[in-house]
Amino acid sequence: MIDEISMEILKILQDKARIPNVEVSRQVGLAPSAVLERIRKMEKTGIIDGYEVRLNPERFSRSQISYIHITTRLHSSGKGTIGDQLAAIPEIQEVHFIAGEDGYLVKARTANTEELGDLLRNQIATIEGVIATRTTTVLHTYKETSRIPIR
Amino acid sequence: MIDEISMEILKILQDKARIPNVEVSRQVGLAPSAVLERIRKMEKTGIIDGYEVRLNPERFSRSQISYIHITTRLHSSGKGTIGDQLAAIPEIQEVHFIAGEDGYLVKARTANTEELGDLLRNQIATIEGVIATRTTTVLHTYKETSRIPIR
DNA sequence: TATGAAATCAACTGTTT
DNA sequence: AAACAGTTGATTTCATA
């Protein structure tokens, strides 16, 4: 479904998402229009999901990463699922429903622990069906990427 | 340090990282070259960290997300820190040193639980100083973005 | 910093294989 | 179906204010 050349294109884009198209075409040995056509097709078929700007969290007062385990009641009523309500909070970057704990694992970014407390008390604890939270505080991040190994 | 116009530009880019530059310039009311200059400057000063292609994990056999708590010995010897060694594993997207557990929290993407077992046994457990691992399996993901709220 | 002119590149359309 | 070439319009660089 994805041939050698398209794989090559994806690898180049993973290294540098805003590389000029002519540069990609030079590297893979095709005409620019052919490369563009391949990229458009991969965008259409969902192989390429999109493009993101990565902003420096420290420049926007978002240095503190926290992982929050959220225990919920099994039969939640309320409007919408708890997962969707958590996902709507902008400080929360990831919401995962996890096995073995009847609940969710979410990743949050705040300026500091004070804002984290705010988030826990005023945004998360108020959601119908949330029983308890347990927070893991990040002291240092060695790696943080959305890049996946492709083959 | 970041004025109103640059903030506006960043918000537009967060919504659509590959929006044409003329379109941005129309929205903020500047010449295209002026917008570009501002973007270049923000790239240089590290406000913009980079740009990423988001590939569909399912198309590349990386559907399974796992969070792995790794307990380590306090005084690790060996070559390089454990954090750096974990960061070098391509299946691992995030490596965080966490408070309260003498260890790391990592996010991994594998094709399935079999590959996860492989990763745990052959790549993680073999690192000098690693005592134990505890894995949280993700069943469903509601949200997964690197976007941060800016203000 | 912002601008406008000039060169390079992107993207659409045709044509060919 | 995929690659290419030509045209149109956007991006980027540069001189200038």
The model's pLDDT over B111-144, given as tens digits with 9 standing for 90+, comes to 999 999 999 999 999 999 999 999 999 999 999 9
pLDDT on residue B106 = 98
pLDDT confidence bin for B151, thresholds 50/70/90? confident
* Nearest nucleotide (CA of A29 to C1'): D3
Place of tokens 């070259």: B33
pLDDT on residue B76 = 63
* Per-residue model confidence as pLDDT tens digits over A88-145: 999 999 999 999 888 999 999 999 999 999 999 999 999 999 999 999 999 999 999 9
In angstroms, the CA A68 to CA A95 distance is 10
CB atoms within 10 A of CB B21: 13
| Residue A76 DSSP symbol | -
* Per-residue model confidence as pLDDT tens digits over B71-101: 999 876 555 699 999 999 999 999 999 998 8
Q: How many Å from the CA of A22 to C1' of C8? A: 10
In the three-class reduction of DSSP (H, G, I as helix; E, B as strand; rest coil), residue A69 is classed as strand
pLDDT on residue B34 = 96
Closest CA in chain B for residue A81: B142
pTM: 0.93
How far is the CA of B132 from the CAs of A66, A111, B30, B129, B135, in angstroms?
A: 22, 31, 56, 9, 10
**Contact between chains at B98 and A139 (C-beta distance less than 8 A):** yes
pLDDT on residue B147 = 96
pLDDT on residue B78 = 56
pLDDT on residue B79 = 54
Q: Which residues on chain A are in Cβ contact (under 8 Å) with B54?
A: 48-52, 146
* Per-residue model confidence as pLDDT tens digits over B3-59: 999 999 999 999 999 999 999 999 999 999 999 999 999 999 999 999 999 999 999
pLDDT on residue B74 = 81
Q: Which residues on chain B are in Cβ contact (under 8 Å) with A149?
A: 60, 62, 90-91, 109
Place of tokens 């826990």: A120
**Contact between chains at A18 and B51 (C-beta distance less than 8 A):** yes
Mean pLDDT score, A75-85: 77
Measured to protein CB atoms, the chain C nucleotides within 7 Å are 1-5, 8-14
Q: Kindly state whether B64 is in contact with chain A, defined as any CB-CB distance less than 8 angstroms.
A: no
Q: Which residues on chain B are in Cβ contact (under 8 Å) with A55?
A: 10, 14, 47-49, 148, 150
The tokens describing B102, both together, are 């003498």
pLDDT on residue A112 = 97
The tokens describing A17, both together, are 């998402």
B48 CB contact with strand C at below 7 Å:
no
**Contact between chains at B51 and A54 (C-beta distance less than 8 A):** yes
Domains and CATH numbers, chain A: 4-44 (1.10.10.10), 57-137 (3.30.70.920)
pLDDT confidence bin for A1, thresholds 50/70/90? confident
pLDDT on residue A78 = 56
**Contact between chains at B62 and A142 (C-beta distance less than 8 A):** no
pLDDT on residue A100 = 87
Say yes or no to pLDDT of A79 above 60.
no
* Cα dihedral sign, A100-A115-A55-A41: positive
pLDDT on residue B67 = 98
Q: From start to end of B1-145, where are the E strands?
A: 48-55, 64-72, 92-98, 103-110, 130-144
Say yes or no to pLDDT of A77 above 80.
no
R_g of chain B, CA atoms, integer Å: 20
DSSP-derived pairing of the beta strands B64-72 and B103-110? antiparallel
pLDDT on residue B100 = 87
**Residue B67 half-sphere exposure, CB side, CA atoms within 13 Å?**
24
In angstroms, the CA B24 to CA B39 distance is 11
* Per-residue model confidence as pLDDT tens digits over A16-41: 998 999 999 999 999 999 999 999 99
Residues 77-116 in B contacting A (C-alpha not used; CB under 8 Å):
81, 83-84, 86-87, 90-101, 104-105, 109
